[in-house]
């Protein structure tokens, strides 16, 4: 039996852009992606702490060090610039492996989306 568990989380990052005229996805600063072990094109859940919206999309790589968190396409309607969101990835694994799994939680500076040393 496999179970789905949290793989990683970017906790409380601020939305820096919302681009409705794009084919879809969320653009994330590559530094944040690396810190949270998020892959390009990986499915993520976005939880908007500001308005309560929850939705899924996929990731595209943003400029390293930019602090960019930009929702693209239809997802842009679910956020406003400045909203605070949580970005969560999940993994499916055997039950016994899941019991020992430790997710990666990243807590960047919410004002800048930069990693805190």
pLDDT interval class at 95 (50, 70, 90): very high
Q: Convert 38-59 to b/e letters by CB count within 10 Å (16 or more is b).
A: beeeeebebebeeeeeebebeb
Q: Which tens digit of pLDDT belongs to each residue from 55-77?
A: 999 999 999 999 999 999 999 99
pLDDT per residue as tens digits for the range 5-57:
999 999 999 999 999 998 889 999 999 999 999 999 999 999 999 999 999 99
Tell if the pTM clears 0.85, that is, is over it. Answer: yes
Selecting from 2.60.120.330, 2.60.40.10, 3.40.640.10, 2.40.40.20, what CATH number does the domain 2-104 have?
A: 2.40.40.20
- Residue 83 confidence (pLDDT): 98
**Catalytically active residues, by annotation:** 25, 58
Residue 24's pLDDT is what?
80
């Amino acid at each position: 039996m496999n179970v789905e568990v949290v793989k990683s989380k970017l906790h409380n990052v601020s939305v820096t852009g919302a681009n409705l005229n794009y084919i879809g996805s969320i653009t994330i600063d590559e530094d944040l992606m690396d810190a949270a072990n998020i892959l390009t094109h990986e499915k993520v859940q976005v939880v908007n702490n500001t308005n309560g919206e929850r939705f899924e999309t996929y990731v595209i790589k943003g400029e390293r060090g930019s602090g960019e968190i930009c929702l693209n396409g239809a997802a842009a309607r679910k956020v406003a610039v400045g909203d605070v969101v949580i970005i969560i990835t999940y993994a499916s694994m055997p039950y016994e492996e899941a019991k020992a799994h430790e997710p990666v939680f990243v807590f960047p500076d919410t004002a800048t989306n930069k990693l805190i040393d």
